[in-house]
Homo-oligomer: A and B are copies of this chain.
């Protein structure tokens, strides 16, 4: 009869030890397929353990399929192919290189941790946990918890003049996730039109979903209508209030022309990505395209990752009524991707006026930062050989350098100076570009104290004599 040692169990229970021993013998072939195992009682006696121990071990082996029971005959080893146990798999080197450290990184959209209202957020979160246990444990509707959607509706009306019924607001874990939902809603067979230049990740997302897209060149009013018409696209994905990275604001005449384009065919829509409208630093916010859309052709989208923190993954979209209906019918089975706790906390943050205060504070802070950077640029003579464009809005502007030099040479010299800048060329995919080297200057991540030195080093890289 089989016999196993029960010494050196090392904390393992008797039955698990026995289970492992038998399993090893079946896997190694020591116990051949079809072999009848001892009866529980005799095995227990033989091993000096209780019948329960053998019973538990057999039960586990049966449930995993190593043994099978034949009523009134006993327990038999199953037929298994022998397998080499897997080796410890090779460690994957995450393709995330160590982040290099720069003296100043004009390519980062990271915001200062000090800007986030931690104390308020923590207080609201605490209040949510202690008072709303039942709500926190109740599954949210697919579009998000009603309290948050109502708060967003009120915010949109006050800040953007958008009248959005809360039922038409769909909350999701980041804009990238919502793009995926929109593709599922509007169709994988549709052709999507994107701005060129533009935010590259958007093209990657469409590509990754296997849907066709066309790149539409832009003039100084936004996407070119002739190119859009010629593209055969069904869905236009744009940021008309503040294009990234050029800063172009699409004027009202072009907006109406785009809306007209959408109305010309039944399955045409415009996806309005309003990613940083809160950070228009001069003048009033540009009205949303959605707010003049009488024909239900605009899907509006915005995010709190920009206004609050990039590590808070809450975005939302406002669907026109007929698409909202379609969303509930077709995609209503999806669970909302944002946890209830964060949804309720954000709802209070908005409803109690903290978001408004926070946006105002940030807007002032960024305005000051941007002005200091422009003043430094002026002071060190950068504007003798370069000019800033699109500095009235958002957390970046363009710096166009009047030189015959290649942008890569300037970019490289800046890097050698510890300053990282991004070439505008990196955002172009197909459209021929402006010949002069142009850089996208994102300034939110530059600490105030480093501004003079950062700008001096940048000016030196550009080749301004006085800055050396």
Contact = CB atoms under 8 A, between A and B. Distances in A.
Nearest to A314: B339
A159 interface: no
B95 A328 contact: yes
Contacts of A111: 137
A113 interface: yes
B83 A294 contact: yes
Contacts of A332: 95-96
A244 to B, nearest CB: 16
A284 B188 contact: no
A403 B380 CA distance: 91
B283 A89 contact: no
A391 B311 CA distance: 42
B253 A65 contact: yes
Contact of A260 (B56, B81, B121, B130): B81
Interface in A133-180: 133-134, 136-143, 163, 165, 167-168, 173-174, 176-177, 180
Contacts of A311: 136-140, 339-341
Contacts of A313: 173, 335-339
A194 to B, nearest CB: 15
A368 interface: no
Contacts of A287: 64
A90 B221 CA distance: 32
Contacts of A337: 173-174, 176-177, 313, 337
A221 B404 CA distance: 72
A75 B173 CA distance: 45
A48 interface: no
A88 interface: yes
A141 B184 CA distance: 26
Among A16, A311, A333, the one with the most B-chain Cβ atoms within 10 Å of its Cβ is: A311
Number of copies: 2
Interface in A329-376: 329-342
A267 interface: no
A316 interface: no
A137 B165 contact: no
A293 B249 contact: no
The 3 residue pairs across chains A and B that have the minimum distance between CB atoms? A65-B251, A95-B328, A113-B137
Interface of A: 16, 19, 56, 59-60, 63-66, 78-81, 83-96, 110-114, 116, 118, 121-122, 125-126, 129-130, 133-134, 136-143, 163, 165, 167-168, 173-174, 176-177, 180, 184, 188-189, 201, 204-205, 208-210, 221, 249-256, 260, 282-284, 286-287, 291-294, 296, 309-314, 320-321, 324-325, 328-342, 392
18 contacts: A65-B249, A66-B252, A78-B251, A86-B293, A87-B294, A89-B321, A92-B324, A95-B328, A95-B332, A174-B337, A184-B209, A205-B334, A208-B331, A311-B339, A312-B339, A314-B339, A339-B339, A341-B342
